[in-house]
Amino acid sequence: MSNYDSSAIQEFNGGVWVFCEQRQGAMMSTSYELISEGRRLANELGTKLYGLLLGSGIEGLAKELGGYGADGVYVCDHPLLANYTTDGYTKVICDVIRAYKPEVMLIGATNIGRDLGPRCAARLHTGLCADCTHLDIDMGIYKDFLHSASTLPADKIDALNTAMVMGEKHDVSRDLKMTRPAFGGHLMASIICPRFRPAMATVRPGVMKKAAFDQAKADACEIIKPEFSLTQDDLETEVVEVVKAAKKLVDLIGADVVVSVGRGISKDVEGGIKLAEELAEVLGGVVGSSRAVVDSGWISADHQVGQTGKTVHPKIYIALGISGAIQHKAGMQDSECIIAVNKNDTAPIFEIADYGICGDLFKVTPLLIEAIKAAKAAK
Amino acid sequence: MKIIVCVKQVPDTSGKVAVNPDGTLNRASMATITNPDDLNAVEAALQLKEETGAQVIVVSMGPPPAEGMLREILARSADKAVLVSGREFGGSDTYATSQILAAAINKIGLEDDDVVFCGRQAIDGDTAQVGPQIAEKLGLPQVSYAADIHKEGDTLTIKRMLEDGYMTIKVHTPCLITCIKELNTPRYMSVGGVFEAYSKPYEVLDYNALKDDPLIDPSTIGLKGSPTNILTSFTPPQKGAGMMLEGADRATCEKLAGIMAAKHMI
């Protein structure tokens, strides 16, 4: 006799779902990333993948999701869903989930996803894992990931097939393994939701890779219009206006080259940022920063790389005057090539840098810009 | 009018963090602090108190030593502190934590003109889930990521930050708001405040104090009431250190540019 009833979760056989966030009729790129990742999870579970799309006049966005792997899209189109509201979106999503019973629900960990996810999980009485950076079903793939991305002993990883749940051994082979950083990136944890469905995760934007678009699959994507009810009385919050930032935001996540500045620029903030901009321009990249630079008000928050900023994995990451606190490393350590310039030869950034130069960024960077220009000219 | 502020004592993860051989955090070796976003929530409450004369009650779930943190917040001129503490509450994930904190807020008594403030997220778990989940359990409207708050009558107008801009949202009391650091600059304790902190009301709510609330059930609190379980935790491997180039002069930079060219990075 089991210590808990698992029969209720058997009913949740409605596939893997991805909440596809759009803002003002434009799909968020993280929706495509999650559809691509969701495709893999659905294949490993032997089930279907569906997008869940809410908004007003947004049906035209649905088919494209098929091109990244969705078998179908549940479209909830209603004037009251034009702008995101916690209460309106939560009501519709929970009603549709209760009717169609997905096994897994993925949501992009945007400021909206992280408002919506917990509210839905609390209403549905299920588990939610925040800001995941890795997702698995298949145990072989999960263990390969642990072998490469953890310091756990190999025999311990190989023996990892069950978890203690309510005092008994639970086979985790069909559970969604949701891996995320905690304690500012010092620790990673894999979380499961063994007793409730859907297993829900918010997923950090920029981490999952977008699949190649396939027009034939987009054409074949099924559009489903579930029934739901929503009235003005359901909304206790009123969106008065939605304001887009006037300045074009830096596209850190999509950049091939990121040149980031840290506290090392403090003696000449403007000069330091200007040098980073010049170096980024020579390399065709963008400027990022550590948290300290944002917290000091020297650069806007959209530049921040790290645990509380953005996660990037560019081809080249250049850290100028960044000591390399673990919070920062958590957002850039998977870059293909890391180059660090720092005055302090014991700075932790050098522990993960492919190439390090111990020196003053204000002296080194101009020389590096010149040398790269010369090397490019010589090609 | 009451303003209830939820706060959490967290290990200070900004410095060196010690990890035990089994992959868990060595909390004993770390200093504890009040979660930074929660101090913005406290400050928002205190500013609203100055405007409206409301009573500010600060609530925390945690072990008895969290009293020190709560007394510090009383010293910043909060009026009353409530510590929610009990063995039965241990091992709670965000779902179970929100059940317990919602029951504690019910116990304090939520009235129509009250507001609940939380920090956006705590630096130990970084989930940002407990605030919205408390709101759901209390049936309150929520506004998260608040960077500006204005109250007029029973209506709050809030600037809610997005990655690419912001929304202006109107919400009525009672409601729950999660605060970000852009909202304000937390004040320090005052000398007079420190003096008064130990004479202000301080209450401990344990399992027995909350057990009559329908939210409190063995199946919804603590480890057994948590929908999520930790399968494993681990430390990521250090990426192998690369090459330190000699010097920091023109020749060094030319060497690096040469490597980048050879590797087709430029």
Query: Which tokens is B111 given?
Result: 């009235």
Write down the pLDDT at residue A185. Answer: 77
A190 sits in which H/E element: strand A187-192
Q: Which architecture, in CATH terms, is B2-225?
A: 3-Layer(aba) Sandwich (3.40)
Query: Does the fold of domain A257-373 match that of domain A7-234?
Result: yes
Q: Does B162 touch chain A (CB under 8 A)?
A: yes
Q: Could you give the CA distance from residue B97 to residue B62 in angstroms, rounded to a whole number?
A: 10
Whether residue B244 lies within 8 A of chain A, CB to CB, comes out as: yes
pLDDT of residue B93: 96
pLDDT along chain A (379 residues), means of 10: 73 97 96 98 98 98 98 98 98 98 97 98 98 97 95 94 93 97 86 97 92 97 98 97 82 90 96 96 94 93 90 92 92 92 95 94 96 90
What are A49's two structure tokens?
Answer: 């993948």
What are the angstrom distances between the C-alpha of B170 and each of A41, A85, A240, B239, B242? Answer: 39, 11, 7, 48, 53
Q: Give the position of tokens 């309150």.
A: B140
Give the model confidence (pLDDT) of B128-172 as tens digits: 999 999 999 999 999 999 999 999 999 999 999 998 899 999 999
**In DSSP terms, which residues pair with A129 in a beta bridge?**
A201
Decide yes or no: CATH 3.40.50.620 for domain A7-234. yes
Q: Which residue of A has its CA nearest to B137?
A: A122
Confidence (pLDDT) at B239: 66
Rounded distance, CA A170 to CA A373, Å? 59
CB contact under 8 A, B226 and A146: no
Tell me the C-alpha to C-alpha distance, in Å, between residue A281 and each of A203, A276, B253, B264.
31, 8, 17, 17
Distance between B125 CA and the closest CA of chain A, angstroms: 5
Hey, what amino acid is at B249?
Answer: D
Report pLDDT digits (tens) over B18-68.
777 666 667 777 889 999 999 999 999 999 999 999 999 999 999 999 999
Exposure string for A64-82, b = 16+ CB within 10 A, e = fewer: bbbbbbbbbbbbbebebbb
Which CATH superfamily hosts domain A257-373? TPP-binding domain (3.40.50.1220)
Determine the average pLDDT of the residues in B188-208. Answer: 94
Beta strands in B15-109 (DSSP E): 32-34, 55-61, 80-84
Interface predicted TM-score (ipTM): 0.92
Q: Where are the domains of chain B?
A: 2-225
d(CA A190, CA A161): 13
In chain A, where the domains are located:
7-234, 257-373
Cβ neighbours of A181 in B, within 8 Å: 126
Listed in sequence order, the residues at least 6 apart from B199 whose beta carbon sits closer than 8 Å to its beta carbon are none
A28 touches chain B (CB under 8 A): no
Contact A150 B234 (CB under 8 A): yes
Q: Mind telling me how many Å the CA of B133 is from chain A's nearest CA?
A: 5
| CB contact (8 A) between residue A130 and residue B125 | yes
> Which residues face B115 on adjacent strands?
B3, B175
Contact list in B for residue A137 (CB cut-off 8 A) is: none
Both tokens of residue B110? Answer: 């939520």
The verdict on B127 touching A (C-beta cutoff 8 Å) is: yes
